[in-house]
Every structure is written in C-alpha cells, then in structure tokens.
Chain A
Amino acid sequence: MEPTELERIARQIRLRDLQAVYEAGAGHIGGEMSVIDILTALYFRVLRVWPDQPKHPERDRFVLSKGHTACALYVTLAKRGFIPEEEISTFLQPHSRLNGHPNNNKVPGVETNTGPLGHGLPVAVGMAKAAKLSGAKYHTYVITGDGEMQEGSNWEAIMAAAQFGLDNLTLVIDHNRFQQGAALADTNDLAPLRPKLEAFGWEVTEINGNAMSEVVPALEHRSSRPHCIVAHTNKGHGISFMQDRVDWHHKVPSKEQYDLAVAELSEAI
C-alpha cells in the first residue's frame, strides 16, 4: 500500500477512535492521535500478519507497550480484520473484550497484556531472543511512549537487546513530548533520545512520526543491531485544539469539541 493510501486509512482510524472515546466517555485520546500513523503503517504495510490466523507462527510480533492507547489498536485491528468493526462500539462496556488496556487473553492480534508502562519492550526482547533460538524469521516491533521511557525496566531491556545482538527488534518511541501531567521536558527530560540509545549500542533513526513517507521506510529498515526509531509526533495530532495540550492526555470531548474534531478529521477523507 502506498503512503497516500495509508494516510487515508490513518484518518479513518483517527475518526473512529475519536468517536469511540466520545461514546465510551473515556480514553487516552492524545496519545492515540500521535501513534495512529505508525500503527497504520505497521498493520497495512509492514507487518506480516494473517488476521484470520492471529497466532500464525510466522507472523511478525507487535507489542503496543503504551497500552493506555488501546482504543487506537482496537480500531486498527478491526480495520485490518482481526475483530469485527462493529465491535469497536463496545469499547469499555461491561463484558466487552475491548478493555481500557489491551488483553491478549481476550483480543486476537494482541500479543501481550500492557497497561502498566515499562512492560512491552522487555517482553519484546524475549520474543526477539526466542526467534534467534528457534530460527524463526519473524521481526518484533514494539511502541513505547516517551514518558514511558522513564521506567527503568526499559533501560534494562535496551542493555540486553544490544548484548544479545537483536537485529530482529525494532523499538519505536512515540516522542510526542508530553506525558500524563506535564511536558516531558518539565518532568524528567529524556530528550535527546538518540545519543542515549546510540550509547547503548542501538542504531537510531529519527523521523517525523506523523509523516507516512518517513514512517514506512523507517519501519522497513533492517540493521545489524537493534533498531530504535525516535518518532517525533504531536500529541493529539490531527485535531487542532488537542494538539500539544497536556490536558488531552485523558479527556473526553464535549459535543461541540467532538463536532469540531470530526469536521477537521473528515476534511481529507
């Protein structure tokens, strides 16, 4: 699929995500808007996956470590055919499989449970290591938040990945410059990320993570070392009044805000 087509899909996913958060009355919309272009590129171009066989042994492994943005993953999985598209309207409802954080006992296509931040990358290291042991050809991708990188478990995993020479592992850091309560810079500023990962022995690519033409080649890049993509994104990307506003980390739009956001996102579909 070509970048322009992928951009169209990303817009549809944004719109459906917005609608789902509005209807459910909860959701982490800011971090969903920032990561959707990367999810789209993965599921509609990069990942080798078979929606009707979510446990296919040769599938590429994908872990959404920033599990609070589960809704964006559900919408993407639905659009790709892992779960019925109608099911999105059950997000956060009683007895739904689509909980506030992705659960792999329940949702086909979810590789591991996340939600407590700092879990995804260490698990992905194990998956990539397993492929080395078994000789499997799958590639392992993981997306973390930038605030999430403050968790020490990530740095333990970063050390191990380099030590094990995991050239079959790609970490994407959704560098939207905000976390829950404030800007990353005003919390525990990890930026610049590149020199830190490089110092640990990783290859690093920096991209605009909301530009499909940069996202796709970065994800398809293969290296002789573990690869980190520092994806510069905007929290709330695509919705003007949410963008770069920390209060939209976890907030539900009013009716007026919702209509405005729908109009903005619908523009290019």
Chain B
Amino acid sequence: MRRSKYIRPAHLENGSDKPRLTTSAMIASIAGPDQPTKPAPFGNALAALAHKDDGIVGMTADLAKYTDLHVFRSAHPDRFYQMGMAEQLLMMSAAGMAREGFQPWVTTYAVFASRRAYDFICLAIAEVMLDVKIVCALPGLTTGYGPSHQATEDLAMFRGMPNLTILDPCDASEIEQAVPAIAAHKGPVYMRLLRGNVPLVLDEYGYKFELGKAKLIRDGKDTLIISSGLMTMRALEAAKHLQKDGVDAAVLHVPTIKPLDEGTIVAECRKGGRLVVVAENHTVIGGLGEAVAGTLLRAGVLPPAFRQIGLPDEFLEAGALPTLHDQYGLSTLKVTEAVKGWLSK
C-alpha cells in the first residue's frame, strides 16, 4: 500500500481533531454548550402515548431518524409505516387512515410538508377536518443546509389553511406536553418540531402548556417581547441580559400560532407604554408578527412602537447555524442589541 500524499489541513494540525462547523449539519442542534437538554422529546412522548391509545399510527417519508420518529418505530413497529420518499403519498395515505378511524402522526421536514404537499393537506385533510397530526423538523432557520431545507415561510403558508391548528413549541418540556394535548384535540394539526437533543428552558419558569393559550413567562415594564418556538428561548435569555442593563423586559410565549390567543395578546399590549417586539423563527411576512399586528389594529390597540424580529424576505444563506442566527438577528446577542437599540430611540 502506498502512503497517502494527502497533507492534513493546518487547522487540524493545531491539536484539534474536531471537525469544524458541526452545527452546520442537517441535524444541527440549537442547544447552547451548557444548556440542559432532553433527547427526542417528541418521539418519546408519542411512543408513551401510543401505549395507551392503539389508534395512534406513525408515518414518515424516509425521515424517521431526523424527526425522532425512530423512537416510536422501535416501541411500536407494528404501527409504524415507512412511506418512502413520497410526501404527497404520506399525506394522502394519512388522510385515508384517518378516515378509517386511526390517528396518523406524520413526519417529514417542514419544507416538504408545506411546499410539496400543501394541496394534498389542504383538501384531503384540512377541508374535511381529519384527525391527522403533521409534525415537521427543520422549521424556519434551523439548518445551515440552505434554502432547500430552510422552512422560512411554513407558518405563512399554513396560517392560510382553514381548520388547521398550528403549533410552534419552544423546548423539550413543551413538546412533551403538546403531544397528548394535540392528540386529544380532534382535527388536523401542524406542529413545528425541534428534534434531537432539545433544550429544556421553560420548566425553570414553572410554565405549563395549554393548547390555544399564550402565556406570560416573565413580566417587565419597559418592553413586551411576544415570541414563539425557539425565539422564546432567545427572548428569555435576552431578557436576562437586558435586566443587567436596567431594561425590564416581559416575555409572552405564544406556542399556538393558530387559533391565536388574541385575548391575551391584546390584554398584554393594552398595558400601555411598552415597546412591543414580536420575535419569530420565520420570515417577517405572514407569521406571528403580522398576526399580532393585525390583531392589535383590529382591537384598536396601538403600542408606542411595534417592531419585528424575524427572517428577511429572502432566500437565506447556508453555513453554520450560530453564524446564520447572528447574521439574521435571531441570536440572543442580536435580540438583546435590537431591543436596546429600539428603546434608546
């Protein structure tokens, strides 16, 4: 055997054998280095629930491992269906199973459920109110793999679909609580999924998930940050930083995007004098920000200022996730800076 002519790149010689940019992977974790996490909260919660409910079936389009459905597959192999790489079939066969009385939980990436299978979900599932739960990984900007896998507009698309309940949970504990709650709700649901080792954030605040309810997680008199999904985690971290600078930030977590808890949102925004910031892991078009803005206008509530933190109306860049979150303003640092900047004006 001839020796390799390959020369090791300099950065690998510097004592570090760790490949760079592990977070750019398709399956990038959003957990910070010291953050407590739980593995596969969705897969575990669904597997547990299915022990009590034999109507639950799991279906995927060649993405079991990447949506944590492999946990369900191991626990209930007889009720797991691998549909192959065929997202339209996935949705339609789920519709068929739901018609026959089963409760299908289908998984794929958010881009494929929204962009590819929309027509199929809309007419075969939503219009006829079938009990199908669509659970999708890589929502918003949670992969560095570029526009083909970044579901930056899934909420905008799905908000337009009548009958559909839409969830954007923040952490592992919320996902665990959401699974039985949406199982008990008869009708179609779209849930954005954080998978793998998912951060545990909300327990610290004594938070309990309730379907359809927005909840104030911390109060504050200077600004009200309204957020969903992983941006609630960022908002809570930012609030701690802001506190050190004497800024008192409230955080209202809105895990149910539709139907929107307009009552709570309006009531919080009525508590006058606070800058209202909506933070979402989604394009600023058609997501939580515009949903809140419309709600406030219709209620005649005008906060002193209204700002959005979200993704621009662009196809985003690829790269490492932390860099991208900084670049597009979703990181704790950027949220903190943005709020400070707006308050100083």
- B26: chain A residues at CB < 8 Å are 26, 100, 250
The answer to whether A93 has its CB under 8 Å from any CB of chain B is yes
Could you tell me the distance in whole angstroms from the C-beta of A214 to the nearest C-beta in chain B? 27
Shortest distance between the CB of A146 and any CB in chain B (Å): 10
Give min CB distance, B293 to chain A, whole Å: 31
Q: Which residues of A contact B (CB under 8 A)?
A: 15, 19, 22-26, 67, 89, 92-96, 99-101, 103, 113-118, 147-148, 150-152, 179-182, 186-188, 250, 252, 255, 262-263, 266-267, 269
Interchain residue pairs with CB less than 8 A apart (17)? A26-B25, A89-B9, A93-B320, A95-B317, A96-B319, A99-B319, A113-B147, A115-B149, A118-B85, A151-B86, A152-B88, A152-B89, A181-B60, A187-B82, A262-B6, A266-B3, A266-B4
Task: Name which residue of chain A comes closest to B70, CB basis.
Answer: A181
A152 to B120, CA, bound (A): 13
Taking A23-B20, A181-B63, A188-B82 as known contacts, 6 extra A-B pairs with beta carbons closer than 8 A to each other, sorted by chain A number, are A25-B22, A94-B327, A96-B318, A99-B145, A115-B149, A266-B5
Closest 8 CB pairs of A and B: A188-B84, A115-B148, A25-B19, A99-B318, A100-B145, A94-B319, A150-B84, A26-B25
Interface status of B2 (Cβ within 8 A of chain A): yes
Residues of B contacting A115 in the complex (Cβ-Cβ under 8 angstroms): 145-146, 148-149
**In the complex, A117 Cα to B83 Cα: how many Å?**
15
- Nearest B residue (CB) for A24: B21
Asked, given contacts A94-B324, A151-B86, A181-B64, whether A266 binds B19 with beta carbons under 8 Å apart, the answer is no
CA distance A92 to B19 in the complex (A): 12
Which residue from chain B places its CB closest to the CB of A15 in the assembled complex? B6
- State in angstroms the CA–CA spacing of A108 and B116 once bound together: 27
User: Given the interface contacts A94-B319, A94-B323, A269-B5, does A113 sit within 8 Å of B148 by beta carbon?
Assistant: yes
Near A by CB (< 8 A), chain B positions 27-67 give: 27, 60, 62-66
What is the 8 Å Cβ interface bit string for chain B, positions 1-16, against chain A (1 contact, 0 not)?
Answer: 1111110010110000
- With A93-B319, A94-B317, A188-B83 in contact, do A116 and B111 touch (Cβ < 8 Å)? yes
Residue in A19, A96, A188 whose beta carbon sits within 8 Å of that of B86 in the complex:
A188
B contact residues around A187 at 8 Å (CB): 62, 82, 84-85
The CA-CA distance from A103 to B150 in the complex, in Å, is: 14
CA distance A182 to B62 in the complex (A): 8
Contact digits for B77-93, partner A, Cβ 8 Å, 1 yes 0 no: 00000111110110000
> Quick one: CB contact mask for B104-124 with A, threshold 8 Å, 1 for yes?
000000011001100000000
Known contacts A100-B149, A116-B148; A24 and B19 CB within 8 A of each other: yes
Min Cβ gap B142→A in Å is 13
Q: B310 in the interface, Cβ–Cβ < 8 Å?
A: no
Given contacts A94-B320, A266-B5, contact A23 B19 (CB under 8 A): yes
B24 at the interface (CB under 8 A from A): yes
By the criterion CB–CB under 8 Å, are A181 and B65 in contact?
Answer: yes
- Complex interface: chain B residues within 8 A of A267 (CB): 1-2
A196 to chain B, nearest CB (A): 14
Contacts of A150 in B (CB 8 A): 62, 84-86
